[in-house]
Amino acid sequence: MTVSTTHLVLIPSYNPGQKVYETVRAAREYWAPVWVVVDGSTDGSAEGLLAMAAEDADLQVMILPHNQGKGAAVLHGLEQAAAAGFSHVLTMDSDGQHPAERIPAFMAESCKQPAAMILGVPVFDASAPGLRVKGRRISNWWANLETLWAGIGDSLFGFRVYPVAALRQVMRHQPWMRHFDFDPEAVVRLCWRGIKPVNLPAPVRYFCAEEGGVSHFRYLRDNVLLTWMHTRLFVGFMLRLPVLLARRVLGRC
């Protein structure tokens, strides 16, 4: 496999359990290089991943000493990626829910359209909890309003290719997007900067606990976080409305 010098797979990881090993192995099967940011995990996965990386030159594992949140872990990886000269990262979850076999297609689309962000649109099977599937429609509706229907297929799905420079700029200029508010806020703010969303389907799986499924999503805590996020994005949207409308009229996005 050729080792990319422009695009890397970035996996933020927090106490993912055993699924992380097959997730990282699958990502490596389809791409090189792959980086994992271990975000203060206490489940022994840091040691296991470091052992894997010791035998694989195209797997890099970074360890953060304390849990900082998904967005903070992605930002850590982004800073390192920029320093190493990478222009794009594909983010994917560490718990086996995202389809590693779709990595080549997403990377190929990003190479074709480097100025765009390539967004996974989840294709659910029967394993998906109805509440999560329905709940995301609310976030999607808000994200589409906040971007004047610029074409965001799914606001929450974390399987995406981002242009590194644009995402770093967005994250550096405000303190949010460090936890579960990362994915929707990133996509809305990148749209505001004129980054075009390109949607590609990606099957997603939900594993039950017996299959090794782990979720850190907490309905109350994270819905409050997402509501606050859309509140501030809505205020930002109102302030930008004249610019967004002018751009739309001029056909720029």
Ligand X SMILES: Nc1nc2c(ncn2[C@@H]2O[C@H](COP(=O)(O)OP(=O)(O)O)[C@@H](O)[C@H]2O)c(=O)[nH]1
Spatial distance between the Cα atoms of 226 and 141, rounded to a whole number of angstroms: 13
String of contacts with ligand X for each residue 172-211, x by CB under 6 A: ----------------------------------------
Spatial distance between the Cα atoms of 20 and 82, rounded to a whole number of angstroms: 25
Q: Nearest-5° angle of CA 114, CA 120, CA 123?
A: 155
Contact set for Mg ion, span 107-136 (CB under 5 A):
none
Nearer to Mg ion, 40 or 213 (CB): 213
Binding-site size, ligand X (CB under 6 A): 17
Q: State which of residues 23, 60, 97, 139 lies at the interface with Mg ion (CB under 5 A).
A: 97
DSSP three-state, residue 45: helix
- Of 155, 131, 142, nearest to 220 by C-alpha is 131
Q: How many Cβ atoms sit within 10 Å of the Cβ of residue 136? A: 20
User: Min. distance of Cβ 13 from Mg ion in angstroms?
Assistant: 11
H or E segment to which residue 121 belongs: strand 117-124
Quickly tell me which residue has 């990386």 as its tokens: 53
**According to the binding rule CB under 6 A, does residue 93 interact with ligand X?**
yes
User: Min. distance of Cβ 214 from Mg ion in angstroms?
Assistant: 7
Spatial distance between the Cα atoms of 38 and 26, rounded to a whole number of angstroms: 17
User: Min. distance of Cβ 185 from Mg ion in angstroms?
Assistant: 18
String of contacts with ligand X for each residue 57-86, x by CB under 6 A: ----------x-xx--x-------------
Spatial distance between the Cα atoms of 127 and 70, rounded to a whole number of angstroms: 24
Query: Which listed option, ligand X, Mg ion, none, makes contact with residue 41 (CB within 5 to 8 Å by class)?
Result: none
**According to the binding rule CB under 6 A, does residue 157 interact with ligand X?**
no
Q: How many Cβ atoms sit within 10 Å of the Cβ of residue 51? A: 12
**According to the binding rule CB under 6 A, does residue 147 interact with ligand X?**
no
**According to the binding rule CB under 5 A, does residue 15 interact with Mg ion?**
no
User: Min. distance of Cβ 74 from ligand X in angstroms?
Assistant: 7
Spatial distance between the Cα atoms of 196 and 152, rounded to a whole number of angstroms: 9
| Positions that interact with ligand X (CB under 6 A) | 12-14, 16, 37, 39, 67, 69-70, 73, 93-95, 97, 215-217
| Positions that interact with Mg ion (CB under 5 A) | 95, 97
